[in-house]
Chain A
């Protein structure tokens, strides 16, 4: 989603920029550099054209000694024309190629005329160069003939004059190609030709050559004038100007267009600026927000550690107090158990103690009276016997009295009764002693550590301890052969006591039956079952009975920790405890303990 959003933003931005760029390009449609270049090209062409004209005239006048100056422009001309063609197509479209074609055509014509001019000018100059020398050598020849031969000297003299006149006229005609001179020249040439048969044979060839060249001059000079006239009429300048005008118009319209786009660009730029300002405002706001958050973050970062420390301290304090209260509670439970136990134990001790006491009281009362009388009478007798002259009467009386007492003693079976009383007292003491042993066994205060323990012994001790709870209840024991279990006996006994006392509490006053069953579970663990036929545990309570502080008893009567501690102890021994109960039918607790709990615990 984020990528899509970014792409959208990027697309929007690029299209905005593209529009800007497009408008900008549109305003730049008129590239002034290129426009100047075209203008420069046209000026160059004009200059070339003008120089070409000048050079043509210079060649005509014989100032230029060769035709390179009127030939060289061709190379530049071709280059400029090629450039102009590209520019025309770029700037004005194919429609204006016609104007360019006119220009090219004009220059092609000029080129062609110049080529013709060169050809004819070369011929003219050749003849003009020859004519004076040719005339001179002809006149020399005529002179020689005159001196050799007197005959026909008139003709020769006439010829000489005619040739001289012709040369003058040719040179004149070359300077000013006047129609009058031309006419005269043609006439004199015709006369000279007509006279030819009358000349000496030796003059025939030089005369023909001379007349030929004279004719060439007349012909070429007229042609040259026509060529120059045609050259002057080639509309090169007009063509250049036309093309220049079209370029200028094209530029002007492009300029107008770009002016229009410039105003669009202006408006668009203002819009963009507004947009930008808005974005900037948004950005500043966001930035401020971020800065504020950052600041808070920084502050909280700085205090975080401190706060963590505080919280940790608080937590460890809470944990400590929790542990403490848990220990208190456990202690309270222990004290409660102990109270129960002590009550039972006190009751158990009280009974034998009562008859031991009554026995001793009886013995004390009877023995002190009888024995002290017997002893007193016996002492009197002994005293009488001991005298040198014993009063026999007295002795006899005393004897009889003592004898009577003795008989009374045996007749009353005092000694037997005493014996019985002592025996009873010993029995009571024995009973108390047995109880103390069991108590010792149960608590195992001396053996808190893990030992091998006979569970049956533990169960039996527990039953003794809990005897007071089990009055009027039937306890049925089904003990199978089980190995000693490595465990903490006091804890296991606590479990047994808890389970048995729960069972005792659950069963009714009359007809309550508690089964204690032991045996081996198929898993190899030792199984202990405590079953009662009591009220059972409701289903909604059942899942919670192992929870700490859960109790169904009245407030103050139970801690609610009993079964949770049971659970904990069994768990610590690597065993399990399960409960199965039906309301009105009874409850069964099944404890499974591994034989070697240490191993199980280690595992």
Chain B
């Protein structure tokens, strides 16, 4: 036993010595977890971000000047649409519920079926979708050309002036700026007190029950596709099959891709009800139930589900940079 005090003294001495010569051990060590924290900062051209923000709220991007990007991506609702299905030009009902725009830069593909491979692509898809903006660049440019202040702002950020590619680039820059670090990120970075014990337990359940098999990585999802209804037929149970329910099949036309969707990010999930591509789950609890039944193919005590929901709430972050 006399060995330990001696070792302790040696360690303490070494620590002080290292500290005095400037070597400070990283006290907070990033945890080795399936979920990874958001980066501390995203480097972007602020001029472009500002321009993108302005355009994000600009209804002139839609054919009949009724909807903007912000119409379906409500910043007070986690950047998602509180309506089960989004509404486009001429009041048309969209095919799906709009996923959150927050942290969307970390998704491997965009839209539920992964039709858009990038944010740039996404803008094109939304723009040309007859049920979304139903327009084209020529129309948009013609409208924006009238706005001298905007033209000036575009020119100050892009020397080649008002062009579709620049508008797109600015919108992408703004979307990339929408990063929401949460308490859970702090926990991942080593701050054990950032989340409560209940949330820690919930996270444990989240891992144990296998949720984490799909909802992992930096965006807690958003990096893979998965069939909706692995362990049971969700659509048969729900009924009223729509084209949108075919999921990735719409893109690949491959039978094995029927009902396959992009696994959504769970960041800010507590804010983004309703859930799933069809907006069918009105509450997070309901959504967790559906996931257990059709994805995990197992049951769990209500207490465990409650803890998981609690953990999910710790993923709600604060919008950094642009508001």
- A interface list, Cβ under 8 A from B: 65-68, 71, 74, 78, 112, 115-116, 118-119, 122-123, 125-127, 129-130, 134, 205, 209, 212-213, 216
Cβ-neighbour of A129 out of B210, B224, B226 (below 8 A): B210
A119→B223 contact, CB < 8 A: no
B210→A125 contact, CB < 8 A: yes
CB B256 to nearest CB in A, in angstroms, measures: 8
**Bound form: Cα–Cα A129–B214 in Å:** 13
Residues of chain A within 8 A (CB-CB) of B218 are: 68
Q: A119-B225, A122-B226 are in contact. Are A213 and B36 (CB under 8 A)?
A: no
The answer, yes or no, to whether B10 is at the interface (CB within 8 Å) is no
B223→A126 contact, CB < 8 A: no
CB B298 to nearest CB in A, in angstroms, measures: 6
A71→B117 contact, CB < 8 A: no
Using A67-B217, A118-B223, A125-B213 as known contacts, list a sample of 19 further A-B pairs with CB atoms less than 8 Å apart, ordered by residue number in A: A65-B216, A68-B218, A68-B223, A74-B117, A78-B117, A78-B118, A118-B224, A119-B224, A119-B227, A122-B213, A122-B214, A126-B210, A126-B297, A129-B208, A205-B299, A213-B231, A213-B297, A216-B230, A216-B231
Interface string of B256-297 (1 = CB under 8 A from A): 100010000000000000000000000000000000000111
Residues of chain A within 8 A (CB-CB) of B295 are: 126
Q: A122-B224, A126-B296, A212-B231 are in contact. Are A66 and B210 (CB under 8 A)?
A: no
8 Å CB interface, B226-269 against A: 226-227, 230-231, 252, 256, 260
- Pick the interface stretch among B27-35, B91-99, B134-142: B27-35
A130→B298 contact, CB < 8 A: yes
B297→A212 contact, CB < 8 A: yes
22 intermolecular pairs with C-beta atoms under 8 Å apart: A65-B34, A66-B36, A66-B223, A67-B217, A68-B216, A68-B217, A74-B117, A115-B224, A115-B225, A118-B223, A118-B225, A122-B213, A123-B230, A126-B210, A126-B230, A126-B295, A126-B296, A126-B297, A205-B299, A212-B231, A212-B297, A213-B297
Query: Looking at chain B's contact residues, is the secondary structure mostly helix, strand, loop, or mixed?
Result: loop
Interface string of B16-45 (1 = CB under 8 A from A): 000000000000000011111000000000
**Bound form: Cα–Cα A134–B297 in Å:** 11
The answer, yes or no, to whether B75 is at the interface (CB within 8 Å) is no
CB B259 to nearest CB in A, in angstroms, measures: 11
Interface string of B297-316 (1 = CB under 8 A from A): 11100000000000000000
**Bound form: Cα–Cα A205–B208 in Å:** 20
Residues of chain A within 8 A (CB-CB) of B158 are: none
A71→B210 contact, CB < 8 A: no
Residues of chain A within 8 A (CB-CB) of B217 are: 66-68, 71
Residues of chain A within 8 A (CB-CB) of B223 are: 66-68, 71, 118
CB B5 to nearest CB in A, in angstroms, measures: 39
Q: A66-B223, A119-B226, A212-B231 are in contact. Are A71 and B108 (CB under 8 A)?
A: yes
User: Which of A66, A115, A118, A129 has the most C-beta atoms of chain B within 10 angstroms of its own C-beta?
Assistant: A66
Residues of chain B within 8 A (CB-CB) of A123 are: 213, 226-227, 230
B298→A134 contact, CB < 8 A: yes
Closest to B232 in A: A212
CB A111 to nearest CB in B, in angstroms, measures: 9
Q: A119-B227, A119-B260, A122-B224 are in contact. Are A67 and B216 (CB under 8 A)?
A: yes
Residues of chain B within 8 A (CB-CB) of A67 are: 216-217, 223-224
B224→A209 contact, CB < 8 A: no
CB A62 to nearest CB in B, in angstroms, measures: 10
Residues of chain A within 8 A (CB-CB) of B213 are: 122-123, 125-126, 129
**Bound form: Cα–Cα A209–B232 in Å:** 11
Across the A-B interface, the 3 shortest Cβ-Cβ residue pairs: A66-B216, A126-B210, A118-B224
CB A450 to nearest CB in B, in angstroms, measures: 94
Residues of chain A within 8 A (CB-CB) of B226 are: 119, 122-123
Residues of chain A within 8 A (CB-CB) of B256 are: 116
Closest to B254 in A: A112
Closest to A115 in B: B225
CB A138 to nearest CB in B, in angstroms, measures: 12
Closest to B211 in A: A126
Cβ-neighbour of B210 out of A112, A130, A205 (below 8 A): A130
CB B265 to nearest CB in A, in angstroms, measures: 12
Closest to B231 in A: A212
B298→A71 contact, CB < 8 A: no
Residues of chain B within 8 A (CB-CB) of A126 are: 210, 213, 230, 295-297
Closest to A209 in B: B298
CB B209 to nearest CB in A, in angstroms, measures: 8
**Bound form: Cα–Cα A130–B210 in Å:** 8
CB B212 to nearest CB in A, in angstroms, measures: 8
Closest to B257 in A: A116
Residues of chain B within 8 A (CB-CB) of A115 are: 224-225
**Bound form: Cα–Cα A68–B216 in Å:** 8
Residues of chain B within 8 A (CB-CB) of A130 are: 210, 296-298
CB A82 to nearest CB in B, in angstroms, measures: 11
CB A469 to nearest CB in B, in angstroms, measures: 112
**Bound form: Cα–Cα A127–B296 in Å:** 8
CB A213 to nearest CB in B, in angstroms, measures: 7
**Bound form: Cα–Cα A115–B295 in Å:** 17
Residues of chain A within 8 A (CB-CB) of B34 are: 65-66
Closest to A66 in B: B216
CB B41 to nearest CB in A, in angstroms, measures: 18
Residues of chain B within 8 A (CB-CB) of A65 are: 32-34, 216
**Bound form: Cα–Cα A209–B218 in Å:** 31
Residues of chain B within 8 A (CB-CB) of A212 are: 231, 297
Residues of chain B within 8 A (CB-CB) of A122 are: 213-214, 224, 226
Closest to A213 in B: B297
